[in-house]
Structure 1
Amino acid sequence: MTTTGQTCNLSDRTCVPCSGGIPALTADEANAHMGELSSEWTLNAGSTELSRHFAFKGFAKATYLANLCAWLADQQGHHPDISFGWGYVDVRLTTHEIGGLNENDFIWAAKLDQLTG
């Protein structure tokens, strides 16, 4: 997306509430957004879920990242599935209302990339 000749990064945008009624991104659209994310994000086979695994040495850093994810979710009004434990955090994104991915999922992922870069 461009505005006045400059590229608008996903991380510069804000999630917009989704209440359904719109189509999920196609596999091609989802793959096009992957180029703006860390290479550690993966799409599932149906391009309906975006996920990333973080590994740590210990529990504290995993807890800090899980809390950061919760804070970012609250700020953006977007609700990823987050699981964590000793040495790991797993983040999964999908827009449940539409049964697949929405641009908001990629915006949220890009913002997390920016915060953890």
Structure 2
Amino acid sequence: MTQALADQECEACTSDDEPLTGDELDSLYEQIETGVWEIVEEHHLEGTYEFDDFRAALEFTYEIGELAEEEWHHPDIHLAWGEVVVEMWTHKIDGLHHADFVMAARMDRIHEEYAPEE
């Protein structure tokens, strides 16, 4: 059985690594919340999470901030009432790396706790 992306290690890249492209990029993209995330110009991920109120968005922002510190992989985070937008890529290679998708999957998992009620 394949290990869930959110359960995989968030391994740092080296300067010898190349940014992901093509099929490899598509395969990882299929494992994150496609209704939340989009790949922008094969360069970075942009995710938009929605919440019922500001407090839930703020708490989610705090949680992903803690995750970023733990993994030493820091996204750009934009907080607004009822919404958090996350932009992420690996600066060392100026593009997307496996670790970016692991982080996105972990953020998706955290969001499940804060998801708006339907």
TM-score range (shorter-chain normalised) is 0.7 to 0.9
**Greater relative contact order, per chain length (Cα 8 Å cut-off, separation 6+):** 2
Aligned equivalents of 1:34 and 1:101: distance in 2? 11
Q: Give 1:19 shift.
A: 4.2
Structure 1 stretches (4+) deviating beyond 4 angstroms? none
Q: Give 1:114 shift.
A: 1.6
Corresponding residue of 2:115: none
Paired residues in the alignment total 111
Q: Sequence identity, in percent?
A: 32
Coordinate RMSD, CA, aligned: 1.3
Deviations along 1:54-106, whole A, 9 cap, x unmatched? Answer: 12233211111110110111122211111102221101110011010000000
TM-score normalised according to structure 2 size: 0.86
TM-score normalised according to structure 1 size: 0.86
Q: Give 1:27 shift.
A: 3.0
Q: Is the 8 A contact 2:60 2:110 kept in 1?
A: no
Corresponding residue of 1:81: 76
Structure 1 unaligned segments of length 5 or more: list them. 1-5
Corresponding residue of 1:13: 8
